[in-house]
Chains A and B, each alone.
Chain A
């Protein structure tokens, strides 16, 4: 599946809608995090300049990976001959935690923290589960 965001100007206003939709969906069935929300959360970990790039797209990884995560690679239109590859990500379908899957490091952002608060407030997940599941690495460093 490929999704495009022409600019962060479109993506950012969508965050609230995506959060709300995904949290509500999570009350009835797993995963609590929609694929669209996973993309937004991953983008939130990029540099500010990268978030401004146009033509951002999210390609699901075809290689086999552990379940329970969305795995995708992010590219965008970049100036000149810079690398269009912005990163490889694994996003936890239950908690929204974002991992740099190349280095196997958990990433943080204010958007992820806000998303966690929403998950807790909606009762989608307990604080204990969020803490425990959020630290389950999808990979080995």
Chain B
């Protein structure tokens, strides 16, 4: 079994606000080149909570070969990785300590195997701008010759997020209905909750309260009961089940926009599609909604 060099555990920076690359010192001795692609199949537990120290198990295939070294990547400055143990060719264990002020984000955990140090990133990878960086983080694609990567959700400052009302109550009260709508669209529930939260001011807007319209729908939307008298450009829905009724209408309008996106649909792709009908007034709509989705994911799981 190859010996994992402890000093080879290093940390990469890949946040939504900045992109930088700190390479691991090439301190490991040269070995054989890995002949086969490697893959990560699971990281448990997941998600990771800020402020906790977690014993992590990384499962995969071909994650070692003789004389090679291994690197663990995570968000720089917010966590440390230690006690990395190569258990077998399909399992690595490590201890990850996440600082209490770690942001909510998708970290990218990756393994690298190589002969003379970390493999170089593919052309153009190091020049990503902020938007591309967010996309890369959400998809967590390995760009290394002998490497594999998987995204890990970091839940940052959950107590603060969960204390914000009415946002948290709105997310939790409507999770069941949103789950049903999301399954029709083939997307995670928190995408739908983020849409509804932003379009209805967490259920408190005049349009939500008066027209029972939680998705910012135009008069004439499918399933609506007519224009809202107070603002006829807005669709009104039945008062008894406004969230679900307007949500069904949203599903009908949104479904055609998702065709051809494949599965699973990442947040950036989903909100890029939604931008065509819901983002007309909002600069940076896609980035804003990706952030809203992250918050919705946290809040729907608040204790």
A complexed with B: yes
How far is A49 from B292 in the complex, measured between Cα atoms in Å?
23
Do A101 and B233 touch across chains, with their CB atoms under 8 A apart? Answer: no
Asked whether B255 is an interface residue with its Cβ less than 8 Å from the other chain, the reply is no
Do A85 and B292 touch across chains, with their CB atoms under 8 A apart? Answer: no
- Comparing A13-21, A22-30, A73-81, A119-127, the segment that makes contact with chain B is A73-81
Do B164 and A81 touch across chains, with their CB atoms under 8 A apart? Answer: no
Do B199 and A83 touch across chains, with their CB atoms under 8 A apart? Answer: yes
Do A50 and B291 touch across chains, with their CB atoms under 8 A apart? Answer: no
Do A102 and B217 touch across chains, with their CB atoms under 8 A apart? Answer: no
- Smallest Cβ distance from B88 to chain A, in angstroms? 44
Do A82 and B233 touch across chains, with their CB atoms under 8 A apart? Answer: no
10 A/B residue pairs, CB under 8 Å, sorted by A: A47-B281, A62-B209, A73-B205, A73-B207, A75-B207, A82-B277, A83-B217, A84-B219, A85-B199, A141-B164
- Smallest Cβ distance from B248 to chain A, in angstroms? 15
| B147 partner residues in chain A, CB cutoff 8 A | none
CB-contact partner of A83 in B230, B278, B283, B288, under 8 A: B278
Do B253 and A81 touch across chains, with their CB atoms under 8 A apart? Answer: yes
CB-contact partner of B280 in A45, A57, A61, A78, under 8 A: A78
Do B216 and A85 touch across chains, with their CB atoms under 8 A apart? Answer: yes
Sample of 13 more A-B contacts, CB < 8 Å, known A83-B217, A103-B198? A46-B282, A50-B280, A50-B281, A63-B201, A73-B206, A73-B207, A81-B218, A83-B277, A83-B278, A102-B197, A102-B202, A102-B292, A103-B288
Interface residue tally on B, bucketed by range: 35 or more
Do B201 and A84 touch across chains, with their CB atoms under 8 A apart? Answer: no
- Smallest Cβ distance from B263 to chain A, in angstroms? 25
Asked whether A117 is an interface residue with its Cβ less than 8 Å from the other chain, the reply is no
- Smallest Cβ distance from A100 to chain B, in angstroms? 8
Chain A interface mostly: loop
| A78 partner residues in chain B, CB cutoff 8 A | 218, 233, 280
Within 8 A of B (CB), among A80-120: 80-88, 100-103, 105
How far is A61 from B209 in the complex, measured between Cα atoms in Å?
10
Asked whether A59 is an interface residue with its Cβ less than 8 Å from the other chain, the reply is yes
| B217 partner residues in chain A, CB cutoff 8 A | 83
| B83 partner residues in chain A, CB cutoff 8 A | none
| A50 partner residues in chain B, CB cutoff 8 A | 280-282
Asked whether B300 is an interface residue with its Cβ less than 8 Å from the other chain, the reply is no
CB-contact partner of B205 in A53, A76, A88, A105, under 8 A: A88
Do B280 and A49 touch across chains, with their CB atoms under 8 A apart? Answer: yes
| A87 partner residues in chain B, CB cutoff 8 A | 281-282
Q: Measuring CB to CB, which residues of chain A are less than 8 angstroms from any residue of chain B?
A: 45-47, 49-50, 53, 55, 57, 59, 61-63, 73-78, 80-88, 100-103, 105, 140-141
How far is A100 from B197 in the complex, measured between Cα atoms in Å?
13
CB-contact partner of B221 in A45, A81, A86, under 8 A: A81
Which of B206, B280, B291 lies at the interface centre, i.e. has the most chain A CB atoms within 10 A of its CB? Answer: B280
How far is A47 from B286 in the complex, measured between Cα atoms in Å?
13
- Smallest Cβ distance from B134 to chain A, in angstroms? 16
Q: Which A-chain residue is minimally distant from B292 (CB atoms)? A: A103
Asked whether B28 is an interface residue with its Cβ less than 8 Å from the other chain, the reply is no
Q: Which B-chain residue is minimally distant from A104 (CB atoms)? A: B164
Query: Given contacts A57-B231, A102-B201, are A47 and B164 in contact (CB under 8 A)?
Result: no
| B295 partner residues in chain A, CB cutoff 8 A | 141
Asked whether B234 is an interface residue with its Cβ less than 8 Å from the other chain, the reply is yes
| Cβ-closest 3 pairs across A and B | A86-B281, A50-B281, A85-B216
Asked whether B220 is an interface residue with its Cβ less than 8 Å from the other chain, the reply is yes
How far is A136 from B228 in the complex, measured between Cα atoms in Å?
34
How far is A108 from B211 in the complex, measured between Cα atoms in Å?
31
